[in-house]
């Protein structure tokens, strides 16, 4: 899953692809590099990020989805707003990536069900403005697993086809570095839920604190954590650096057989 951030304030590449033409070209490059899914987002979910108005998010996202339609990849829209998801699905998206796991908009579940869209449900405590304020868990893997199981059941009860739902533990969303490490070590307990697991560690701060790297120097840590996640059963890796990760996965797969 290649990341296409159409935002001025994303932690890694905010502002680089705010122009629709630049975002479309970036998406095409990610697809050529091996991305099977392009995840288009118009609202940053980095720690401390401010909400974006619906009209502005639509203005950012819809032209990019339209420009990427026709590529031999699935297009995901990273949004928690049903109105934005609806417009993106109309424009050619097939998946909704909801960081609130259907808690942010009461109309989202019905929309996804009605459109037979794919759905990514992510774990997050609070919202981007508050999620990193002293997050605490007794057993982070168990609590994230139980949350995802509950949101999966809620989505199915709302009419979303279970086979179209993916689950994301939300690495870096309301977690300390230690929580992130524990989730990666315990990923098999989430895989046991029976749905594809999405993992996004790409360029995140916990990598930098582990190896002392700046944001644009975290490729090594991203590859290490992503390979470990894939080996533990993750089905989808959400990434900025698709070509390098695809090459690393090919080598790892060849070694492991």
The one catalytic residue in 81, 164, 175, 204 is: 204
The one catalytic residue in 164, 175, 203, 238 is: 238
Count of other CB atoms within 10 angstroms of residue 195: 19
Q: What are the structural domains of the chain?
A: 2-256 (3.20.20.20)
Angle at 95 between CA 38 and CA 193, to 5 degrees: 105
Looking at residue 9, what is its pLDDT? 59
Please list the ranges in the chain whose pLDDT falls under 70: 9-14
pTM score, two decimals?
A: 0.94
Looking at residue 10, what is its pLDDT? 59
Looking at residue 12, what is its pLDDT? 59
Looking at residue 126, what is its pLDDT? 79
d(C-alpha 186, C-alpha 182), whole Å: 6
Looking at residue 14, what is its pLDDT? 58
Listed residue (200, 184, 189, 187) closest to 237, CA to CA? 200
d(C-alpha 108, C-alpha 114), whole Å: 10
DSSP letter, residue 34: T
13 class by beta-carbon count within 10 Å (0-12 exposed, 13-18 middle, 19+ buried): middle
Looking at residue 59, what is its pLDDT? 97
Whether 204 sits among the annotated catalytic residues: the reply is yes
Looking at residue 129, what is its pLDDT? 77
What are 148's strand-pairing partners?
none
d(C-alpha 255, C-alpha 257), whole Å: 6
Whether 81 sits among the annotated catalytic residues: the reply is no
What is residue 118's three-state secondary structure?
strand
Looking at residue 11, what is its pLDDT? 56
């Amino acid at each position: 899953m290649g990341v296409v951030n159409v935002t001025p304030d994303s932690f890694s590449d905010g502002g680089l692809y705010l122009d629709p033409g630049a975002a479309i070209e970036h998406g095409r490059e990610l697809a050529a590099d091996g991305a099977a899914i392009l995840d288009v987002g118009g609202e940053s979910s980095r720690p401390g990020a401010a909400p974006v108005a619906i009209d502005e998010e639509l203005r950012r996202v819809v032209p990019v989805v339209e420009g990427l339609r026709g590529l031999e990849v699935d297009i995901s829209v990273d949004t928690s707003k049903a109105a934005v998801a609806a417009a993106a699905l109309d424009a050619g998206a097939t998946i909704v990536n909801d960081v609130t796991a259907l808690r942010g908009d009461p109309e989202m579940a019905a929309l996804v069900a009605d459109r037979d869209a794919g759905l990514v449900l992510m774990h997050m405590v609070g919202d981007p403005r508050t999620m990193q304020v002293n997050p605490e868990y007794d057993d982070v893997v168990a609590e994230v697993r139980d949350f995802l199981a509950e949101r999966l059941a809620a989505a199915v009860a709302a009419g979303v086809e279970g086979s179209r739902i993916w689950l994301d533990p939300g690495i870096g969303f309301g977690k300390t570095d230690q929580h992130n490490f524990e989730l990666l070590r315990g990923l098999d307990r989430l895989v046991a839920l029976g749905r594809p697991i999405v993992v996004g560690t790409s360029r995140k701060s916990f990598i930098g604190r582990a190896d002392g790297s700046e944001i644009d120097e975290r490729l090594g840590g991203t590859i290490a954590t992503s390979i470990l996640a894939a080996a533990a059963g993750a089905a989808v890796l959400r990434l900025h650096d698709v070509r390098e990760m695809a090459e690393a996965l090919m080598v790892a797969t060849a070694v492991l057989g």
